[in-house]
Amino acid sequence: MNGTRMQENVGIIPKHSKEPRLAFLLSAPYSGATLLSILLGQHPRVSCDGEIFPFDRGADVICSCGKKQIECEYYRDIASSMITENGRKYDERFFYYIPKYSNIYHLSRALEGFWINGSLSKLRNFLCRHFSKINKLEKSFIDIHMELIRKSLFLRSASIYIDGSKSMRRAEMFCERKYTNKIIHLVRDGRAFCNSFLKNKGLSRNCIPIAIKVWKKYIKKVDVLKGRLPHVHLLEVRYNDLCSSPETELKRICEFLGIQYEDSILQFDKRDMHILGNRMRFSYSGDIREDNSWKEKLGKEDLSLINRLAEDELRRFGFI
């Protein structure tokens, strides 16, 4: 395995009474989470791999090292207990951001999703706590994922793991059980988000209301999550600030995480990088540039519509 920070062999990592330190990175899609994951992963005390679980259970994804994830030595080490007997794929029941509750599609979807509706969320949580089969499944899932985190930290001699899966339900599960009380919320300007969303989804300008609805809904979910978990500390980071003043923002993040800022965080070295997420993970060279193409791509009518539909949120985060 390459990289100056890597231990030679992860072996069997014993469980300790004190759980490893964990924080979550939450962000709507196309909002710069892969960039922030790469930057945080450069810190010698941090292990961060971005969106390490596939969007579809059992899907093949390519690691930033260029290998299929199932062939990547790093992932085979940290997720060794999730590899199936033939060694050719990860067990889709566990190698995912949330447990596979049932083979019944609608039941599984109901239990897997993050519910904004408080009553439905309480009903789901009641079922998960009081049905022994579901309760045991969740416990097994969390145990095996904490093992993955321990192994990742051990391999990199790091002290804190940043979960960049961006799953609200996953963050809720781990925060509820007090495995962490820290969440970083990365927010991108709603206008820039709309432009990237439409471009990446191949949608026309007529779909701007759909794009802005996705942006606003993610913000609302973060608000709901924070409201349910008063013990959790949340740090808001704006993508444009990260790009324009990376050292300042990364110092804020390091302080929030309880670690010293290191100059190496901006001295890009890809040898120990195994990032999943946006395709820029393959081309990133250490040059931080904000994508402002929305200023040219979106017309006055487009911007006026976005400002009208999302004025409260745009003002809240200081974008207008």
Burial letters 235-263, b for 16+ CB under 10 A, else e: eebbbbbbbeebeebbebbbebbebeeee
Q: Residues 33-76: pLDDT tens digits?
A: 999 999 999 999 999 999 999 988 988 899 999 999 999 999 99
Task: Please tell me whether residue 26 adopts helix, strand or coil conformation.
Answer: strand
> How far is residue 222 from each of residues 33, 44, 254, 295, measured CA to CA in Å?
15, 29, 21, 27
pLDDT at 236 over 60: yes
Most confident of 11-15, 251-255, 268-272: 251-255
DSSP letter string over 48-93? E-BS-S-SSTT---B-TTSSBGGG-HHHHHHTGGGB-TTSSSB-TT
Tell me the domain boundaries of the chain.
Answer: 21-316
Containing H/E element for 162?
strand 160-163
Q: What is the pLDDT of residue 171?
A: 97
Q: What is the pLDDT of residue 13?
A: 44
Token output for 143: 């145990």
Task: Please tell me whether residue 221 adopts helix, strand or coil conformation.
Answer: helix
**Alpha carbon distance 302, 299 (integer Å):** 5
pLDDT at 214 over 90: yes
Q: Compute the average pLDDT of residues 202-208.
A: 96
Q: What is the pLDDT of residue 17?
A: 41
pLDDT at 14 over 50: no
Q: What is the pLDDT of residue 86?
A: 87
Q: What is the pLDDT of residue 7?
A: 54
Q: What is the pLDDT of residue 8?
A: 47
Q: What is the pLDDT of residue 263?
A: 92
* DSSP at 47: E
* DSSP at 5: T
Q: What is the pLDDT of residue 107?
A: 85
pLDDT at 3 over 50: no
pLDDT at 218 over 90: yes
Q: Within a 10 A sphere around the Cβ of 146, how many other Cβ atoms?
A: 17
Q: What is the pLDDT of residue 203?
A: 96
Contact present, 160 and 45 (Cβ < 8 Å): yes
Q: Compute the average pLDDT of residues 17-41.
A: 92
CATH code of the domain made up of 21-316: 3.40.50.300
Contacts of 180 (CB under 8 A, 6+ apart): 21, 22, 23, 24, 174, 232
Token output for 160: 């804190």
Indicate the average pLDDT of the chain. 91
Report the sign of the C-alpha dihedral through residues 132, 135, 139, 145, in that order.
positive
Q: Residues 118-162: pLDDT tens digits?
A: 998 988 888 888 888 999 999 999 999 999 999 999 999 999 999
Q: What is the pLDDT of residue 87?
A: 87
Q: Report which of 4, 22, 259 is spatially closest to residue 150, judged by C-alpha positions.
A: 22
